[in-house]
Structure 1
Amino acid sequence: MEIVTSRVLLRSADPEALTDFYRDVLCLPVAREYPGGIVFYAGAGLIEIPAHLAADTPAAGDMLWLQVRDVAAARAELAAAGVPIAAEPETKPWGLIEMTVHDPDGRSLIVVQIPDDHPLRRDLR
């Protein structure tokens, strides 16, 4: 499976306070904001605080966001390797095609394909 990019998602019982900390205390630059969350540049990596996950998930849960070119191919590859698919690929309200698997420690891996017409693919130059 070829990984194109990745980011760390930080879930919090108080995503607003966590956002304030990363933005105002650590002064991380904002990569993008979307309804329900914010993504910060963190050196060569990204840190995302998804407020839409705060209410129904434990604050201590770690997740990895892994962008792939073809989520269906990644699904087939992972299933062939015996990895259970926790959530089948589906287009989310924010326009990304996502599926979820778990690592051996139970950590969620969100495997994401960005459709060609998604705003993340627009050249804003």
Structure 2
Amino acid sequence: MPTLAIEGPRVVVHLSGPQAVMALARQVSVPTAAVASVQLVSNGADVDLGWRVGGTSIPRRLWFGRFRRRGKGRTFAAVYAGQPAVVVRTAPGEADWDKLVLTLEDARDAAETIRAAAGLPAVLQ
């Protein structure tokens, strides 16, 4: 699975091995200051990614790479179906990516880590 780290003022997603090949990227990042919202979804396959413009997808299984939707900006996804995912949205024009959709080992902790780094309020349980 992809790994997430807060490196200085950036949220960085690292991909290795087959994931990097499928996504056509070893890492992607966005500034923490640009993070507008962080959401946890129970199934990453439920997120509308748009059209794949680079990377790999196997319907109903996995989505890795770059996606676009007319008028909705650029999305980077590293998602396995049936797994919880973190959806990070950025402020318009503030980052290279408008949305990151990531299946991570511990999605709940990752979402809280991103919220804390971006200065967003924690979600009440």
Give TM-score scaled by structure 1 length: 0.29
Q: Which has the higher Rg, Structure 1 or Structure 2?
A: 1
Decide which structure has greater strand share: 2
Give TM-score scaled by structure 2 length: 0.29
